[in-house]
């Protein structure tokens, strides 16, 4: 996927004010609108312009995009970091003028997902209106998902100052992390969205859960995968070993004759739920280094006395 430079699309500087962004958008809309344009690629260009304006005209999306955009140029190969956007608050605003869900690019969807496409929960009255819902992604440790917890989270939002520039603001909320959350699941905080208008009630805040990257574990649904190193004699002869897991240390039996790649399933020790997932321990046989005389002699003895050819099946 290629990185999209929305500033380049609209032809404005990164520090452009909201009025400058709006002026550039209107100019390009007059040029590429399919109803009036004679350009052969008018429809595609109009989609690009609409998408760029949907981001740069929205203070929250623009602030989040700017954090990432300084590291990439238009057309560069791009993959969002796993924790991108975590803690950044987006209003449930419309994607942009005349934009349908299918009109968004994969690039836009990878950055903003449902938060970018959501609709505000406004009422129809002219004087009293419910505030729009807000959306944010939060990073959660696997230990919190196993046991549940309450933690303070910092959310970043954005607004326009008097000069039309984007200003980032922060707020701290205490959030209860329920036990057994699945990745992608949302936590609803009633009344924590945008304020209502004309005495209307505030919107809600939806926190989409993402698991904090952990080099020890891989998550697939409610199943958890962990690689466990074992010594050659533990794999060959069998052994009882102690291993760390997200729910604490456990004793595990390694069957005799195990090889690298063998999976041991611990049923019910995955992410809690109904039913809970499983924990899969993938064995990795680790050879001791031959870095001293004793180790070298042991390897020489095995090479001489064991009739073993690891390539005999080739």
What is the tens place of the pLDDT at every residue in 187-223? 999 999 888 877 888 889 999 898 988 899 999 999 9
Residue 262 is part of a domain; what is its CATH number? 2.60.260.20
Domain match, 207 and 59 both: yes
Domain that holds residue 65: 6-121+128-211
Strand pairing report for 186-189 and 149-160? unpaired
Closest-CA residue to 264 (of 287, 289, 234, 221): 234
Domain match, 60 and 145 both: yes
Q: What is the pLDDT of residue 61?
A: 87
Q: What is the total count of domains within the chain? A: 2
In Å, how far are 66, 86, 109, 113, 168 from 157, measured between CA atoms? 13, 12, 19, 17, 6
Q: Which of 186, 211, 236 is the last residue of a domain?
A: 211
Q: What is the pLDDT of residue 40?
A: 78
Q: What is the pLDDT of residue 198?
A: 77
- Reported in sequence order, the residue ranges of the chain that DSSP labels E, i.e. its strands, are 89-91, 134-140, 149-160, 166-177, 186-189, 205-211, 217-220, 223-230, 239-245, 248-254, 263-266, 279-285
| 314 assigned to some structural domain | no
| 87 assigned to some structural domain | yes
Q: What is the pLDDT of residue 102?
A: 47
Domain match, 75 and 186 both: yes
Burial of 157 (0-12, 13-18, 19+ CB in 10 A): buried
Q: What is the pLDDT of residue 113?
A: 65
Q: What is the pLDDT of residue 103?
A: 65
Domain match, 161 and 263 both: no
| 285 assigned to some structural domain | yes
Which stretches within the chain are classed as H helix? 6-10, 18-32, 42-56, 59-69, 106-117, 142-147, 232-237, 293-305
Domain match, 231 and 300 both: yes
Low-confidence ranges of the chain (pLDDT < 50): 93-102, 116-126
Q: What is the pLDDT of residue 162?
A: 76
Domain match, 191 and 50 both: yes
| 1 assigned to some structural domain | no
Q: What is the pLDDT of residue 301?
A: 94
| 164 assigned to some structural domain | yes
Domain match, 144 and 231 both: no
Q: What is the pLDDT of residue 298?
A: 94
Predicted TM-score (pTM) of this structure = 0.70
Name the token pair of 79. 């993959």
Residue 162 is part of a domain; what is its CATH number? 1.10.287.110
| 58 assigned to some structural domain | yes
Domain match, 65 and 176 both: yes
Q: What is the pLDDT of residue 92?
A: 58
Q: Which of 179, 211, 243 is the last residue of a domain?
A: 211
């Amino acid at each position: 996927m290629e990185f999209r430079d929305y500033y380049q699309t609209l032809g404005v500087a990164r520090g452009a004010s909201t009025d400058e962004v709006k002026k550039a958008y209107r100019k390009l809309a007059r040029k590429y609108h399919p109803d009036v344009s004679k350009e052969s690629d008018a429809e595609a260009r109009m989609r690009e312009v609409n998408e760029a304006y949907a981001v740069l005209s929205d203070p929250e999306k623009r602030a989040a995009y700017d954090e990432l955009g300084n590291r990439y140029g238009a057309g560069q190969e791009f993959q969002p970091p796993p924790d991108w956007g975590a803690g950044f608050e987006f209003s449930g605003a419309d994607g942009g003028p005349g934009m349908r869900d299918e009109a968004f690019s994969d690039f836009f969807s990878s950055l903003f997902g449902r938060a970018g496409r959501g609709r505000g929960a406004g009422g129809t009255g002219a004087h009293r209106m419910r505030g729009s819902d807000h959306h944010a992604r939060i990073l959660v440790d696997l230990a919190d998902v196993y046991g549940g917890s309450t933690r303070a989270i910092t959310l970043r939002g954005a607004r326009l100052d008097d000069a039309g520039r984007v200003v980032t603001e922060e707020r701290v909320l205490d959030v209860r992390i329920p036990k057994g959350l699945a990745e992608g699941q949302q936590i609803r905080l009633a009344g924590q969205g945008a304020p209502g208008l004309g005495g209307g009630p505030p919107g809600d805040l939806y926190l989409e859960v993402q698991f904090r990257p952990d080099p020890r574990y891989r998550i697939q649904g409610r199943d958890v995968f962990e690689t466990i190193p074992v010594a050659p004699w533990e794999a060959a002869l069998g052994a009882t070993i102690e291993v760390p897991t997200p729910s604490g240390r456990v004793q595990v039996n390694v069957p005799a004759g195990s090889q690298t790649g063998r999976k041991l399933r611990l049923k019910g020790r995955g992410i809690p739920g109904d039913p809970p997932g499983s924990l899969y321990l993938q064995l990795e046989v680790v050879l001791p280094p031959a870095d001293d005389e004793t180790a070298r002699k042991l390897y020489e003895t095995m090479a001489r006395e064991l009739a073993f050819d690891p390539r005999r099946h080739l």
